[in-house]
Amino acid sequence: MATEGPATRRVQVAEHPRLLLKLKEMFKSKFASIPKFYVRAPGRVNIIGEHIDYCGYSVLPMAVEQDMLIAVEPVKTHTLQLANTNPLYPDFSTSANNVQIDKTKLLWHNYFLCGFKGIQEHFGLNNLPGMNCLVDGTIPPSSGLSSSSALVCCAGLVTLTVLGMQLSKVELAEICTKSERYIGTEGGGMDQSISFLAEEGTAKLIEFGPLRATDVKLPSGAVFVIANSCVEMNKAATSHFNIRVMECRLAAKLLAKYKSLQWDTVLQLEEVQAKLGVSLEEMLLVTEDGLHPEPYTPEEICRNLGISLEELRTQILSPNTQDVLIFKLYQRAKHVYSEAARVLQFKKICEEAPDNTVQLLGELMNQSHASCRDMYECSCPELDQLVDICRKFGAQGSRLTGAGWGGCTVSIVPADELSNFLANVHEAYYQKSDRSSVLEKQSLFATKPGGGALVFLEA
The answer to whether the beta carbons of residues 96 and 77 sit under 8 Å apart is: no
The answer to whether the beta carbons of residues 59 and 207 sit under 8 Å apart is: no
| CA 36 – CA 257 distance, rounded (Å) | 56
Q: Which amino acid is residue 280, in one-letter code?
A: L
Segments making up each domain of the chain, as ranges = 8-217+450-458
What is the Cα gyration radius of the chain?
22
Average pLDDT, the chain: 93
Is it the case that residue 146 has pLDDT exceeding 60?
Answer: yes
pLDDT at 437: 53
Q: What is the pLDDT confidence band of residue 443, given thresholds at 50, 70 and 90?
A: confident
User: Which residue in the list 67, 91, 191, 289 is annotated as catalytic?
Assistant: 191
**259-286: per-residue pLDDT in tens?**
999 999 999 999 999 999 999 999 999 9
The answer to whether the beta carbons of residues 408 and 226 sit under 8 Å apart is: yes
Q: Which fold has domain 8-217+450-458?
A: Ribosomal Protein S5; domain 2 (3.30.230)
Q: Is the peptide bond before 381 cis (omega within 30 degrees of 0)?
A: no
| CA 244 – CA 186 distance, rounded (Å) | 10
Of 83-92, 317-326, 426-435, least confident by mean pLDDT is 426-435
DSSP string, 22-73: IIHHHHHHHHSS--SEEEEEEEEEEEE-TT-GGGT--BEEEEEEEEEEEEEE
Question: CA distances (Å), 225 to each of 19, 276, 390, 412, 442, in order?
Answer: 26, 39, 9, 7, 12
Name the residue among 152, 132, 134 with its Cα closest to residue 42: 152
Residue 355 appears among annotated catalytic residues: no
How many CB atoms within 10 Å of residue 408? 26
Is it the case that residue 358 has pLDDT exceeding 90?
Answer: yes
Q: What is the pLDDT confidence band of residue 435, given thresholds at 50, 70 and 90?
A: low
The answer to whether the beta carbons of residues 216 and 205 sit under 8 Å apart is: yes
Q: SS3 of 457, please?
A: strand
**192-242: per-residue pLDDT in tens?**
999 999 999 999 999 998 999 999 999 999 999 999 998 987 655 568 999
Paired sense of beta strands 408-414 and 454-458, if any: unpaired
pLDDT at 440: 47
The answer to whether the beta carbons of residues 230 and 382 sit under 8 Å apart is: yes
pLDDT at 296: 98
Is it the case that residue 434 has pLDDT exceeding 70?
Answer: no
